Amino acid sequence: MTEEIEQVAQRYARFTALGAATIAAVWHLGYDLTVTITGWSTFRWPWLSVAAWVAYSAIFVVALLSLLRTSRGPARIRELALATLAVDVAVIVSLRPEELIGISDWAWGSVGWIAIMLVWGRPRWKTELIAFLAANAGIMLVAMVVTGTFDRVSISKYLVVIAGGVTMQLGYTWGCHILRARAEDAVVLARRLAADDALRESAQRIHTDRLRRYAAIRDVAEDLLHQLADGADPGDPRVRDDCTAGALRLRRLITEREDVPDELVSTLRERIEAAERRKVMVTAPPFGDYLPGLPDGVREDLLRAPIRALDGARSRARVTVSAMSTMVSVAVVADNDDLPISATPVQEPSGVVVTYQRQGGEVWVNSIWQGP
C-alpha cells in the first residue's frame, strides 16, 4: 500500500511538471510562432525576433530535459533566467515603437512559462518565480517609458497582460504545488501507518514468544520437580544429568531475549530446543543484540554446518553467535562423531568461510561471514 501511494505521489510530481512544459510548448508554438510569422511587417528587425524565438526554444529544451530526468528545474537557473529575460528584450528591440503593446510583442507574456519550468520543484520556487515575473514586468514598463508608449490605452493593455499572465502562471504553479504537497503528505501518512503496523506486529511476536518461553520454563521446572517428588534419587547419575540439562535450559530461556527479530537467531533457537528435547545439554550464551543485514544466501551458508553439528550432538553442545557491523560468526562445539569435516577451510559461494576441528570426541564448527 505504501509503495502504491509513493508511486501516485511520484506521478503527481512528474505529470504536473510535464503539464507546465506542455503549456509552455503549446503557447510558444501556437501563439509566439504564429504572431511572429503573421506580424512580420510589424518588426523593424524581424530576424532578431526569429533569433529570440529560437533562443527561447533552446532554453525550453534545457528545462524540459531536466524535468524529464528529475521532475525539477535545472540546478543552476540564474544564467538561464537572464537569457530568458534577454529574449524579452530582444523582441522589444526588434519591434517598431508603435507595436510595443501589440500582439506581435509575444515575449513578455510568454517568458513566464519558461520561468515556471526553471523554478519547478526548487525549494525557493515562489520567491524565484515572483522575482522573475517582477523583472519581466519592469523591463516592459521601462520600454514603454523609453518609447513614449505611456498613454492610458497602453497602460491599460499593459496592466491587463501583466495581471492575466501573472495570475495564470502563479496560479498554475501554486495549484500544482498544493497537489504535490498533498500527495507527499499522503506518502508520509502511509509510512507512519506502515511503521505503526510493523510495531504492533513486532510487539505481538514478542508477546507470543515471551509466553512460549514462560511456558517452556514452567514445563522444565515441573518435569524436574515431578521426578523428585516421585522419589527420584538425586544421587542417580541419570537424574543428575536431567537436572543439569534442565538447569542449562532454564538459564538459556531466562537470559534469552525475545526482542531480537532475526531469522538467523530464530532458526538457531528452534534447533537448540530440538536438541534439548533429545536430552542434549546445550549451553547458549545470550546472542548479540545487533546483527547486521545479511546478503542473500549468507544466512543459509552460515547456519548449514553449525546446525548439522548441533543436530548430531549426542549429549552436549555449545552454541555461540558473534557479530560486528560487517562480521557474523556462528560456532558450535558438540560431541558429534558422525559429522564429516574438512581439514582446510571451506569457502562457500556467498563468501562464508567454514572451519572444522576435531579433538577427542568433540567437533568444533565455525562459520564466518565478513562484509565489504
C-alpha cell at 270: 528452534
CA pair distance 68, 21, nearest whole angstrom: 10
Lowest mean pLDDT across 156-170, 318-332, 336-350: 156-170
> Is-contact 134 177, C-beta < 8 A?
no
Task: Give me the sign of the Cα torsion angle 93, 98, 102, 108.
Answer: positive
Check whether 193 has a pLDDT greater than 60. Answer: yes
Total-model pTM:
0.51
Q: How many residues does the chain have?
A: 372
Write out the CATH class of domain 232-370.
alpha beta
Which DSSP category does 322 fall into? E
3 state DSSP class of 281: strand
Q: In the Cβ-directed half-sphere of 23, how many Cα atoms lie within 13 Å?
A: 19
At 249-302, the pLDDT tens digits run 666 665 555 555 577 887 888 888 888 888 888 888 776 556 777 888 898 999
For the stretch 11-62, pLDDT in tens is 666 777 788 888 888 888 888 888 889 888 888 899 999 999 999 999 999 9
Sign of CA dihedral 30, 32, 37, 39: positive
301-324 average pLDDT score: 90
Place of cell 529544451: 61
Task: Say how far apart CA 77 and CA 127 lie, in whole Å.
Answer: 13
pLDDT at 127: 87
The residue ranking higher by pLDDT, 166 or 261, is: 166
Which three three-digit cell numbers place residue 244? 543439569
**Position 66 pLDDT exceeds 90:** no
DSSP three-state, residue 260: coil
Is the model's pLDDT at 123 over the cut of 70? yes
Mean pLDDT of the chain: 82
Banded model confidence at residue 7, pLDDT cuts 50, 70, 90: low
Determine the Cα–Cα distance for residues 17 and 180; give it in Å rounded to an integer.
10
Return the pLDDT at 357: 92
Tell whether the torsion through CA atoms of 96, 102, 105 and 108 is positive or negative: positive
pLDDT on residue 304: 92
Asked whether residue 141 carries a pLDDT value surpassing 60, the answer given is: yes
pLDDT at residue 154 in the model: 83
State mean pLDDT over 218-223: 72
Does residue 13 sit in helix, strand or coil?
helix
Residue 106: exposed, middle, or buried by beta-carbon count in 10 A (0-12, 13-18, 19+)? Answer: buried
Domain boundaries, the chain: 2-193, 232-370
| Distant-in-sequence contacts of 73-81, Cβ < 8 A, 24+ apart | 73/117, 73/118, 73/119, 73/120, 73/121, 73/122, 73/125, 74/118, 77/118, 77/119, 77/122, 77/128, 80/118, 81/115, 81/118, 81/128, 81/132
